Amino acid sequence: MYDAKYIIPGLIVFVALMTFPIWKNMGNAGPVPKPEKPVGVTKCIDSVKYMRTSHMKVLDDWRDEVLREGDRVPIEVNGVKYDKSLMNGCLKCHADKKKFCDECHVYTSVKPYCWDCHFVPKETF
Ligand code: HEC
Ligand code: HEC
Ligand code: HEC
Q: Looking at residue 12, what is its pLDDT?
A: 72
Q: What is the pLDDT of residues 84-118, one digit of tens each?
A: 999 999 999 999 999 999 999 999 999 999 999 99
Q: What is the pLDDT of residues 12-57, one digit of tens each?
A: 776 666 666 555 555 566 788 999 999 999 999 999 999 999 999 9
Span from the CA of 36 to the centroid of ligand 2 (angstroms) = 14
Statement: residue 124 has pLDDT above 90: no
Statement: residue 60 has pLDDT above 90: yes
Q: Looking at residue 125, what is its pLDDT?
A: 45
Statement: residue 62 has pLDDT above 90: yes
Query: What would the mean pLDDT of 59-74 be, rounded to a whole number?
Result: 97
Q: Looking at residue 117, what is its pLDDT?
A: 94
Which residue CA neighbors atom 20 of ligand 2 most closely?
A: 56
Top mutation candidate among 93, 96, 110, 118 for ligand 1, by most atoms within 8 Å of CB: 93
What distance in Å separates the CA atoms of residue 61 and residue 39, rounded to the nearest whole number?
26
What distance in Å separates the CA atoms of residue 85 and residue 62, rounded to the nearest whole number?
7
Other CB atoms within 10 A of residue 112 CB: 13
C-alpha dist (Å) from residue 89 to 44, 82, 84, 124: 11, 5, 6, 16
With a CB cutoff of 8 Å and minimum separation 6, the contacts of 76 are: 82
What distance in Å separates the CA atoms of residue 82 and residue 94, rounded to the nearest whole number?
12
C-alpha dist (Å) from residue 20 to 15, 23, 62, 100: 8, 6, 45, 33
What distance in Å separates the CA atoms of residue 44 and residue 47, rounded to the nearest whole number?
7
86 ligand 3 Cβ < 6 A: yes
